[in-house]
A and B are shown apart, each in its own frame.
Chain A
């Protein structure tokens, strides 16, 4: 059974500092996605990573994928309050978009 593990599950960030969220998965896959969810809202797609070594950046967020290590990271540079949300990674299990999600990382950014 595929397992997708995120850590930490909760992350308290100080504005201006850098942080990393880790996503480990237990089976071979080269398709990984990052989503953001605000409280009471739906999921917003952040990144689609489709190959080993893929790196994507958008603003203060950068995601990378190492399929050999079965690890993806989401790096946050100079955190700001607007980044407070829950971040999910998800692995495509069958090439048709059937996603298995991690438990999520709740991020709170304080001054």
Chain B
């Protein structure tokens, strides 16, 4: 079956611009996670959705970052006034239900480059 998909696969933007990154989770998965992975490091948690609501957004680095999941399926990560330090691979993951017993399936990621 279809896995987690993310678009675009690559995004190059200028410093100060606004970007949106999209995640399509596996059908039927209620939990959705965003992570950010910098070169040579492990993924870093950003935000977790259970259904339509953000259950935990403690990993968002500052108020330039915002994410939504209005219908409980597709999620969009939005970054305002991008900075060069935002350059990373943004990974989305989904699981059947939020919780430790359910493994997270990761998408291919969006590589964001801020010039």
Contacts and interface: CB of A to CB of B under 8 A. Distances in A.
A33 B103 contact: yes
A101 interface: yes
Interface residues of B, number: 29
Contacts of A92: 100
A96 B101 CA distance: 9
Contact of B48 (A50, A98, A100): A98
Contact of B45 (A35, A45, A50, A98): A98
The range of chain A's interface size is 20 to 34
Given A42-B107, A43-B106, A97-B104, A102 B99 contact: no
B109 A31 contact: no
Contacts, number: 70
B48 A96 contact: yes
A73 B100 CA distance: 19
B91 A97 contact: no
B41 A104 contact: yes
Contacts of A31: 100
Contacts of B56: 94, 96, 98
Contact of A97 (B33, B42, B44): B33
Contact of B108 (A42, A94, A101): A42
B76 interface: no
A9 B27 CA distance: 36
Interface string B20-55: 000000000001010100001111110010100001
A45 B98 contact: no
Interface string A75-103: 00000000000001010101111111111
Interface of A: 4, 31, 33, 35, 41-45, 48, 50, 88, 90, 92, 94-104
Which are the 3 A-B pairs with shortest beta-carbon distances? A101-B42, A31-B100, A43-B106
